[in-house]
A = this chain, B = another copy of it.
């Protein structure tokens, strides 16, 4: 299992983490600090939600100089929709941690996920923040990943070496529901010891996020806390930027698939590939319509090769008047099922294929060469149970 291996993945050189249980909601780990000894280039992308919380607004502001020393992550409470008090709570949290690390609050980022509309338990937050080591010495990325979980069932960690090394990219992420990123997924923190110019880092990260985190959707709901940041320590020195982007994308893509396959109640990872579109934007729009369709998601859950629902989802993109049903083709796995029709034996084979852990649905629009791939998951009774029973 992935999460067993994860335990053995160390953070890049120059990073230390502090993982603790401070009792935000229960006795599981819920407080994580990942930091370097000095400020280094950093970048972040955040939710576009009109109900974005102070964690997002503060981190966006603190990244205006494109440098940071670290990030503080609180799980089990999103600190969203708490008004000015919530903003004060977040700033007080950063002030305490910054004092422990010997830096300015503006050198730190903050992320928080969990229930909306409930204030931090500030007594426990103050005590927990004050217990932050002056020089966090943890190196276990898996422990940090576990510390930011809410309803996640597995910690999400991915790592790659840049070129021949020694520089590495290590990312952790959390998020299983309320996921249709406008700018980033729930919470993803990517760290690297590569030495990279701030502008180059920012441009590269935004390109990669658009091809990875922005292509995952569990339930079409957009989080108020979506945050994806990349932090650097420069400890491993300069790297080839192209090799860095390859490693960064590999890490973000692996985290993206981990998020999709761990979607609330998910039993099957759905990969939707749209080709032949007018452009990449249209391909992504159509792919999202397919991967978000409750009828497509339930068909996958039922192992039913119901291509009619895929056609319906494509048809939903009614503003795309250049989509012509007579030029569209649809495939499950490697088998075209529209307009080509298959016999019952093949349908039975496809049904068996759809009982697997990963189902690939492909659609070609026959317009031009725009393409996009997105990831999601099936819709199951588990999703209903988790979200109908989740208590505010």
Nearest residue, chain B, Cβ from A319: B48
A178 at the interface (CB under 8 A from B): yes
Report whether B299 and A388 are in contact in the complex, using a CB–CB cutoff of 8 Å: yes
A304 at the interface (CB under 8 A from B): yes
- Proximity bits, A33-52, B CB within 8 Å = 1, else 0: 00000000000000011111
Residues of B within 8 A of A391 (CB): 304
A49 and B388 in contact, given A219-B294, A308-B80 (Cβ under 8 angstroms): no
Candidates B177, B295, B304; contact of A221 at CB < 8 Å:
B295
Report whether A304 and B51 are in contact in the complex, using a CB–CB cutoff of 8 Å: no
Report whether B379 and A384 are in contact in the complex, using a CB–CB cutoff of 8 Å: yes
Nearest residue, chain B, Cβ from A388: B302
Residues of B within 8 A of A50 (CB): 314-315, 317-318, 320-321, 323-325
A155 at the interface (CB under 8 A from B): no
Residues of B within 8 A of A307 (CB): 117, 392
Residues of B within 8 A of A312 (CB): 49, 51, 116, 178, 221-224
Report whether A48 and B308 are in contact in the complex, using a CB–CB cutoff of 8 Å: no
- Proximity bits, A85-119, B CB within 8 Å = 1, else 0: 00000000000000000000000000000011100
Candidates B294, B306, B338, B347; contact of A383 at CB < 8 Å:
B294
A339 at the interface (CB under 8 A from B): yes
Residues of B within 8 A of A78 (CB): 308
Residues of B within 8 A of A271 (CB): none
Nearest residue, chain B, Cβ from A379: B384
Residues of B within 8 A of A302 (CB): 387-390
Report whether B311 and A80 are in contact in the complex, using a CB–CB cutoff of 8 Å: yes
Interface residues in A268-286 by Cβ distance below 8 A to B read none
How far, in angstroms, from A380 to B321 measured CA to CA in the complex?
34
Report whether B49 and A308 are in contact in the complex, using a CB–CB cutoff of 8 Å: no
A316 at the interface (CB under 8 A from B): yes
Residues of B within 8 A of A221 (CB): 293-295, 309, 312-313, 316
A175 at the interface (CB under 8 A from B): no
Candidates B51, B293, B306, B339; contact of A311 at CB < 8 Å:
B51
Report whether A318 and B222 are in contact in the complex, using a CB–CB cutoff of 8 Å: yes
From residue A369, how far is it (CB to closest CB) to chain B in Å?
A: 19
How far, in angstroms, from A317 to B17 measured CA to CA in the complex?
36
How far, in angstroms, from A385 to B221 measured CA to CA in the complex?
22
A residues with CB within 8 A of B: 48-52, 78, 80-81, 83, 115-117, 177-178, 180, 182, 219-224, 292-295, 298-299, 301-302, 304-309, 311-318, 320-321, 323-326, 338-339, 347, 379-381, 383-385, 387-392
Q: Can you sample 22 A-B contacts with CB below 8 Å?
A: A49-B316, A50-B317, A51-B311, A78-B308, A80-B308, A116-B311, A117-B311, A219-B295, A220-B294, A221-B293, A221-B309, A222-B316, A222-B318, A294-B387, A298-B383, A299-B388, A301-B384, A301-B388, A302-B389, A304-B388, A305-B392, A381-B384
